[in-house]
Chains A and B, each alone.
Chain A
Amino acid sequence: MTTPVNAAPAVPAAAEENALPARSGSRAWKKLKRNKSALFGFLLVAFFVGIAVLAPILPIADPAATSWSAIRKPPSELYWLGSDEIGRDILSRMIWGAQASLLAGVVSVLIAVVVGVPFGLLAGYFGGWTDQIISRITDALLATPFLILAIALAAFLGPSLTNAMIAIGLSATPIFIRLTRGQVLSVKTEDYVEGARAVGLSDVAIMSRYILPNVFAPVLVQATLTVATAIIAEASLSFLGLGQQPPDPSWGSMLNVAKNFMTQAPWMAWWPGAAIFLVVLGFNLLGDGLRDALDPRES
Chain B
Amino acid sequence: MSSDTRDVILEARNLAKRFPVGMKLFGERQSVRAVDGVSLKVHRGETLAVVGESGCGKSTLARLLLRLIDPSEGEVFYGGRNIAALPRAEMRRLRKDLQFVFQDPFSSLNPRMSVGAIIEEPMRVHGLGNAAWRREEVARLLTRVGLRAEFADRYPHEFSGGQRQRIGIARALASGPKVLIGDEPVSALDVSIQAQVINLLEDLKQEYDLTLVLIAHDLAVIRHMSDRVAVMYLGEIVEEGATAALYAAPLHPYTRALMQAIPIPSPRARKAAVKLTGDVPSPLAPPSGCRFHTRCPLADLRCAVDRPALQDVEPGRRVACHHWQRVAKEGTAALAEPEASQAARRRLSLYRDRSERQQNSVPQSES
Task: Determine if A17 and B160 form an interchain contact, defined as CB atoms under 8 angstroms apart.
Answer: yes
Using a CB-CB cutoff of 8 Å, which residues 111-130 of chain A contact chain B?
Answer: none
Closest chain-B Cβ to A226's Cβ sits at a distance in Å of 23
Please give, as numbers and ranges, the residues of chain B lying within 8 Å of A198 by CB-CB distance: 66, 68, 95, 98-100
Give the chain B neighbours of A8 by CB distance below 8 A. Answer: 192, 195-196, 199
| A3 CA / B111 CA spacing, docked (Å) | 35
Which residues of chain B in 28-85 are interfacial with respect to chain A, using CB atoms and an 8 Å cutoff?
Answer: 47, 63, 66, 68
Once the chains bind, are A21 and B202 in contact (CB under 8 Å)? no
A residues 1-39 with Cβ under 8 Å of B? 1-6, 8-11, 13-15, 17-18, 20-21, 23-24
- The residue on A at minimum CB distance from B108 is A191
Q: A2-B202, A198-B99 are in contact. Are A17 and B66 (CB under 8 A)?
A: no
**B111 & A15 in contact (Cβ 8 Å cutoff):** no
B288 within 8 A of A: no
Collect the chain B residues with CB atoms within 8 Å of residue A275's CB: none
Chain A residues touching B, range:
35 or more
Write out the residue numbers on chain B whose beta carbons fall within 8 Å of the beta carbon of A4: 198-199, 202, 224
Q: Does A259 contact B (CB under 8 A)?
A: no
Query: Does B324 interact with chain A (Cβ within 8 Å)?
Result: no
Q: Does A200 touch B at the CB level, under 8 Å?
A: yes
Return the chain B residue nearest A198 by Cβ: B100
B102, B108, B122, B199: the one contacting A200 at CB < 8 Å is B122
A196-230 Cβ-contact flags toward B at 8 Å (1 or 0): 11111110010001100110000000000000000
Least CB distance from B45 to A in Å reads 11
What is the bound-complex CA distance between A91 and B224, given in angstroms? 81
A76 shortest CB reach to chain B, Å: 55
> Within 8 Å CB of B15, what residues of A?
none
Residue of A nearest to B144 (CB): A14
Q: A214 contacts B110, CB within 8 Å?
A: yes
Residue pair B146, A17 in contact (C-beta under 8 Å) = yes
A110 to chain B, nearest CB (A): 22
- Measured between beta carbons, the chain A residues less than 8 angstroms from B158 are 20-21, 23-24
CA A209 to CA B113, docked complex, whole Å: 9
A14 to B196, CA, bound (A): 8
On whether the beta carbons of A10 and B146 are closer than 8 Å, the reply is: yes
Per the bound structure, the CA–CA distance linking A199 and B108 in Å amounts to 12
Q: Is A195 an interface residue (CB 8 A)?
A: yes
B329 close to chain A: CB less than 8 A: no
Other-chain residue from A5, A13, A192 in contact with B107 (beta carbon distance below 8 A): A192
Tell yes or no: B137 within 8 A of A by CB: no
Q: Which residues of A have CB within 8 Å of B221? A: 5
Contact sample, A vs B, 16 pairs, CB 8 Å cutoff? A4-B199, A5-B194, A8-B195, A8-B196, A13-B146, A14-B146, A17-B147, A17-B163, A20-B159, A191-B108, A192-B107, A192-B108, A194-B102, A199-B125, A199-B171, A200-B122
Mark A residues whose CB is within 8 Å of B.
1-6, 8-11, 13-15, 17-18, 20-21, 23-24, 190-192, 194-202, 205, 209-210, 213-214
Closest 3 CB pairs of A and B: A14-B146, A200-B95, A213-B112
